[in-house]
Amino acid sequence: MRRVHKKVRAQIKYRMQNLYRTAAVVTIFSALEHCLGFLYRIILSRILGPEGLGVYQVSLTVFAVFLTATSSGLPITLSRIISKHRARGSKRGEQAATSAAIVLTLAVSVPVTLLLFLLKEPFSRVFTDSRCADLFYILIIGLSFTSVYAILRGCFWGNKRFLAYSLVELIEEIVMIAVGVFLLLLLQTDVADVNLAALAVLISYLCSFAIALVYFFIRGGKLRSPKGEFLPLIKSSLPVTAMRTSSSLVNSFISVLFPMRLMAAGVSSSKAMSEYGVVYGMVMPVLMIPSTLIGSIALVLVPELSECFYRGQKEKLSGLVERALNATLLIAGLLIPFFVVCGGDVGAMLYASEQSGRLISSCAIILLPMSLTMITTSILNSMGCEKHTLLFFLGGAAAMLLCVWFLPKYLGSGALCIGMGCDYMISATCALVLLKKKTGTLGSWKYFLKLTAAVLPVIGAGYLLRKFLVIYLSYLPALALTILFIGAMEILLFSALKLMDVKTLLGRFFGKKKRA
């Protein structure tokens, strides 16, 4: 029995090493994509200003509702069904499932697009600002194209073609930025800047669709009769689609409700839209930095977890889950001290906004529940728990809406941050409890306690050092020394508490493969 457990642990270790290496490749592409997107967001913030950025963000948020409703649940469900067919050796089943997913997404996205254009005048009244409606109708042209593209990504995902998945995403980002910079900075036109920014997004959607479709057929992709695959796809994707559509609806509702609640408290319409733009256009892109790494882990982990789940390999499943949670906690723990201590500098340097800097610093703690929510939702969905994740989301969303309704009068834009914190805390806690029930063990709470013991001293020491250095040094040298100090202290404390092993970590990514 001991030999069996030892062999299983060795297999888990070998699998995790391969996953880490794959995740490293995906992370490089994802980090480059997010870095470019982040720089583009800075350019937009300077050109459009907080108010224009708020208009741009509101339009994207409403468009996301329809994109989510037409396709969001299908890619992850398709990847899981493909993993199930792979475990059973059914190539025909994989192709039939892909065909069914494409038919389903077109059956929804095409009629929705036509209906929205037929009802353009009444639907435009949904927006409090007419500029938002103009942007939305530019974006909605690409709804069917990007919906099919999402299905093709799910196919790449299920077949573990992570390089193709990541490369097309990166190309989409590059096209959007290149077209956006050309239209906004180089092209002389009377068209509003926010409309040009939306046009750049549409062109990037069309480009990524074309590239993914060509790659799908070049790599031998085929579409077979979808008979027998519609019901499993619909049954599994509906809860995920409902959750993500609800999330988009909540975000859209907040984009309308939050300015209204601020205006009810005596804030002008322009100021209210600017406050929304600061949080969702400036603060959230910074706080979403961990999603690059966590998304990469989830991307390579989901097919692996699905195969273990359907093969009944409970011990391997438990081991993979715990290691994924520990990696997620580590990522959040490494970034929180930097954001708490240097968040004000980040806002000032990137956006020339002291308000965004204060919010980044005060909201840094949200990284922890937010990161756990991201990874646990992906893990649970890979195990067929879509209905549970939907319920967890609804509980968190209810808390978010309550905060946005009651707190803007007292906290201003801080109400959004408090609401997001409550949302992620509820979702993460419920998901961890369910994972404990599903896997039978969840030792990551010990890792969390040690992580807390390491992070708090780093924050305290970094804050004091920053205060001391700005007295005697100029701005940039003081900031650079603070960052170096925080990094060095993290390495020492995290290593001492065995939260990470730098040599082993590097070996997992770059070491030679050894079969267990």
Residue 353 DSSP code: -
Tokens of 72: 């969001």
- Candidate from 96-110, 128-142, 232-246, 392-406 with smallest mean pLDDT: 232-246
**Mean pLDDT computed over 259-287:** 85
The Cβ of residue 24 has, within 10 Å, a number of other Cβ atoms equal to 15
Q: What is the pLDDT of residues 416-445, one digit of tens each?
A: 899 999 999 999 999 999 988 888 766 678
Of these ranges, 70-74, 261-265, 302-306, the one predicted with the greatest mean pLDDT is 261-265
Rounded CA-CA distance 387/241 in Å is 10
Predicted TM-score (pTM) of the model is 0.71
Residue 5 predicted with pLDDT over 80? no
Better-scored residue on pLDDT, 425 or 253: 425
**Rounded to the nearest 5°, which phi and psi values hold at 126?**
-60, -35
User: How much of the chain exceeds pLDDT 70, in percent?
Assistant: 92
154 neighbors 78 (Cβ within 8 angstroms): yes
Angstrom distance (rounded) from CA 367 to CA 455: 13
**Residue 260 DSSP SS3:** helix
Per-residue model confidence (pLDDT) at position 503: 64
DSSP string, 114-165: HHHHHTHHHHHTTSSSHHHHHHHHHHGGGHHHHHHHHHHHHHHHHTT-HHHH
Reported as a pLDDT band with limits 50, 70 and 90, residue 366 is very high
Q: What is the mean pLDDT of residues 299-314?
A: 75
Cα Rg for the chain, rounded, in angstroms?
23
Cβ 413 vs Cβ 363: under 8 Å: no
pLDDT beyond 50 at 516: no
Average pLDDT over the chain reads 84
In three-state secondary structure terms, 58 is helix
pLDDT at 286: 86
Closest to 327 measured CA to CA, from 442, 499, 470: 499
Q: Does 1 score more than 50 pLDDT? A: no
Residue 500 is given by DSSP the state -
The dihedrals phi and psi of 473, each to the nearest 5 degrees, come to -120, 160
DSSP string, 266-291: T--HHHHHHHHHHIIIIIHHHHTTHH
For the ranges 341-345, 369-373, 440-444, the lowest mean pLDDT is seen at 440-444
Distance CA 368, CA 365 (A): 6
User: What are the residue ranges of helices labelled H in 383-443?
Assistant: 386-406, 408-411, 414-439
Predicted confidence band of residue 372 (pLDDT cuts 50, 70, 90): very high
> For the chain, how many helices (H) and strands (E)?
21, 0
Task: Please provide the distance, in angstroms rounded to a whole number, between the alpha carbons at the two ends of the chain.
Answer: 18
pLDDT tens digits for 89-129? 778 888 899 999 999 999 999 999 999 999 998 988 878 77
What's the distance, CA 233 to chain centroid? 23
**pLDDT tens-digit profile of 145-157?**
999 999 998 898 8
pLDDT at 26 over 60: yes
**Residue 504, both tokens:** 């082993």
Q: What is the pLDDT of residue 113?
A: 94
pLDDT-based confidence at residue 237 (cuts at 50, 70, 90)? confident
Q: Tokens standing for 112? A: 């929705």
For residue 247, pLDDT beyond 80? no
Picking from 70-74, 262-266, 406-410, 511-515, which range would have the lowest pLDDT averaged per residue?
Answer: 511-515
Q: Where are the domains of the chain?
A: 2-442, 443-516
Average pLDDT score over residue span 478-491: 94
Q: What is the dihedral of CA 505, 508, 510, 515, to 10 degrees?
A: 160
d(CA 321, CA 379): 7
Range scoring the smallest mean pLDDT among 284-288, 397-401, 493-497: 284-288
Retrieve residue 295's tokens. Answer: 């998304």
Q: Which residue has the tokens 């800047």?
A: 193
CA 474 to mean position of chain CA atoms: 36
CA angle, 425 then 406 then 251, to 5°: 60
Q: Are 227 and 96 in contact (CB under 8 A)?
A: yes
Q: How confident is the model at residue 73, as a pLDDT? A: 78
User: What pLDDT does 11 receive?
Assistant: 55
Q: In the predicted model, is pLDDT for residue 515 greater than 80? A: no
